[in-house]
Amino acid sequence: MADFITFMLLMVVMFLWPSAVILRRVGYSAAWTLIMAVPLLNVVAVWMFAFRPWPIEREAEAYQGSKLPPNPPSL
């Protein structure tokens, strides 16, 4: 039983914790990390995160669209 608990703690440290850090950086909730522990659903989640626009990208586009100065005149 102790080996199983050690294995599970190792899995959390090796996979779930870095997933939470990455998800927080791109603007998603770290709670999505719990899906990574569910077989098959984790594959769907990875594909979803890979091909959907990230919240941080939407914020950057909104910022760039509203804060950029006008184009300088060409010489």
Mind listing the pLDDT tens digit for each residue in 3-54?
998 988 888 888 888 888 988 888 888 888 888 888 899 899 889 888 888 8
Q: How far apart are CA 48 and CA 63, in angstroms?
A: 24
Those residues with Cβ within 8 angstroms of residue 25's Cβ, 6 or more apart along the chain or in another chain: 56
Residues 6 or more apart from 42 whose CB is under 8 A from it? 35, 36
Alpha-carbon gap, residue 40 to 42, rounded angstroms:
5
Task: Look up the pTM and report it.
Answer: 0.60
